Amino acid sequence: MSNLREQYNIALETGKWWTIQWYLEDQYYTDNSLSKEKVKNIFSKLGEIFDAGWFISQRDTALNTARTWLDNNKGIIKKDIWTLLNKKLFNSDKPSESYSMCSIINIRTAHPLFDKFIKPGTNSLNHLIELGQDLIDIEKAGFLSEKLINRLKEPTEYVGVRFELKILAHLIRRKCDIKLEPLSGIGKSKADFLITKGSEELIAELKTLQLSQASQVIKNISGAINSAIDDPFISSNISFWRSEPAYELKEKIKTKKGLNELEHSLPVLIKNIKNHIIDNINNKRWGDHIIPGLIKYTIYSKQGENGGIRGEYKELPSSINDEINKLIRNTVNGSIKQLSKKIPAILIVNIDISFLWDSEYIECMKYKLFQLWKKNMKKYEHLSALILVSKYSYNNNIIYSIEPFWNPNAKWDIKNYNLIKDILNLNGDKKDIMRELLANTTL
């Protein structure tokens, strides 16, 4: 057994995930952009927050979920396989061995960070460094409360609070003055931030919209598909690909039975998609393609220095119109009372990246927002903008796609505020490559 495997088992059994120390391997420090000392400090902070007790609780939650699944499938799974899984999953002496069974039956921990802590890779390292640095900067500014930490450790809260911390840390680094949870002036309602810089001030409310269960299943499948097509031949011959589920697939995932069937048939689906793409590349059939009952997809021929990029599997909602109505209902309508009418206000909404890669979605969103703001000018006059933000990885960099929608009927025109420029500069010097590709790519 390799040393790394031994450390992995120790981490799973003791909860001390930081003992693996894969993040200090020389392969991650070849370009001198990282210092091992800095990374050690960052992981020390992460270890304080996500301690051994937290790690074990997440591991045990996954094990209990797997054991319940196994009990529910007794008589369905072949007896010899069921007996083997049962023996492994209930091996209390070797929790690391028990946990390895979870991946076999496609059950993972609910918290997004668990696997990143113990599975080496540049992508995991970059995400953890970004989180750790944000936490350190927020703590220095005096904003790292027990409440924030507890929310960060909760699987159901993590995505939303991580987004809040990202924006907060970014504003701190941009030398903005920040007040948390300012009163709106309407009852006891509060927004997230009052942001001040020089003579400018803004009220900001942050929201995170999660995908529905069906969309989440499709997103999980998308990750597996992306991994499967991460093939040297495919990546060297296309610059970008994007796809959406076929109507039949969308209908199938509306039922629990359909969701289960879809998840279990994943290996076959991936193989079919991969072979279909390779066949079209070999025959130089660029453009739109259909795999009946599965997906519609588009492949772009390799172009220029940005070639070799693979787009994320595009999980369009069954109705763009319904999805946008939901977004407006849960963000604009749901937050308006939290925003003071005496100061210009913005909504910053964290959504899935697939929406910001779809021009039809953007245009439809713009139309519906403008109609709402025009119809209810007085009600929304203090809301100057809604800003959609999505995160993705490209070339091992974390990139944010940002799409602002300006209220033409707002009391304050804030487009040229330095504060707004700070918020829109979430990427720093990094370019939003995917959005540029979609804007400039031709078939």
H-state helical runs in 239-385: 247-252, 256-264, 266-282, 320-328, 334-335, 353-356, 359-375, 377-380
To the nearest whole percent, how much of the chain has pLDDT over 70?
79
Q: How many C-beta neighbours within 10 Å does residue 180 have?
A: 14
Say yes or no to pLDDT of 283 above 90.
no
DSSP string, 269-311: HHHHHHHHHHHHHHTT--EEEEETTTEEEEEEE--STT-S--P
Taking residues 166-193, what's their average pLDDT?
A: 84
Q: When comparing pLDDT for 53 and 394, which is higher?
A: 53
pLDDT at 224: 55
Q: What is the pLDDT of residues 42-57, one digit of tens each?
A: 999 999 999 999 999 9
- Listed range (60-64, 106-110, 155-159, 183-187) with the worst mean pLDDT: 183-187
How far apart CA 108 and CA 223 sit, in angstroms, is: 14
Q: When comparing pLDDT for 18 and 356, which is higher?
A: 18
- Confidence label for 227 from pLDDT (cuts 50, 70 and 90): low
Q: When comparing pLDDT for 103 and 443, which is higher?
A: 103
How far apart CA 171 and CA 145 sit, in angstroms, is: 17
Q: When comparing pLDDT for 147 and 299, which is higher?
A: 147
CB 282 within 8 A of CB 269: no
pLDDT at 433: 65
pTM over 0.85, yes/no: no
Taking residues 362-377, what's their average pLDDT?
A: 88
The first and second tokens of residue 272, run together, are 């079919």
Say yes or no to pLDDT of 442 above 50.
no
Taking residues 70-90, what's their average pLDDT?
A: 83
Instruction: Encode burial over 339-351: b for 16+ CB neighbours within 10 A, e otherwise.
Output: bbbebbbbbbbbb
pLDDT at 106: 74
Domain boundaries of the chain, sorted by first residue: 3-145, 174-211+319-440, 213-301
Task: Report which listed range, 53-62, 85-94, 274-283, is most confident.
Answer: 53-62
Task: Report which listed range, 54-68, 134-148, 226-240, is most confident.
Answer: 134-148
pLDDT at 309: 33
Say yes or no to pLDDT of 312 above 60.
no
- Confidence label for 256 from pLDDT (cuts 50, 70 and 90): confident
How far apart CA 268 and CA 248 sit, in angstroms, is: 17
pLDDT at 346: 95
Say yes or no to pLDDT of 59 above 80.
yes
Mean pLDDT of the chain: 81
- Confidence label for 184 from pLDDT (cuts 50, 70 and 90): low
- Listed range (127-131, 174-178, 285-289, 316-320) with the worst mean pLDDT: 316-320
How far apart CA 261 and CA 294 sit, in angstroms, is: 13
Q: Is 99 helix (H, G, I), strand (E, B) or coil?
A: helix
Interacting residues of 281 by C-beta distance below 8 A, sequence separation 6+: 233, 234, 237, 238, 299
CB 405 within 8 A of CB 385: yes
CB 315 within 8 A of CB 244: yes
The first and second tokens of residue 314, run together, are 């595009």
Taking residues 356-365, what's their average pLDDT?
A: 72
pLDDT at 357: 62
pLDDT at 167: 96
Q: When comparing pLDDT for 150 and 323, which is higher?
A: 150
By the 10 Å C-beta count (0-12 exposed, 13-18 middle, 19+ buried), 164 is classed as: buried
Q: When comparing pLDDT for 152 and 442, which is higher?
A: 152
**What does the DSSP 8-state code read for residue 190?**
B
Say yes or no to pLDDT of 109 above 50.
yes
Amino acid identity of residue 85, one-letter, is L
- Listed range (76-80, 90-94, 219-223) with the worst mean pLDDT: 219-223
By the 10 Å C-beta count (0-12 exposed, 13-18 middle, 19+ buried), 83 is classed as: exposed
Taking residues 298-315, what's their average pLDDT?
A: 47
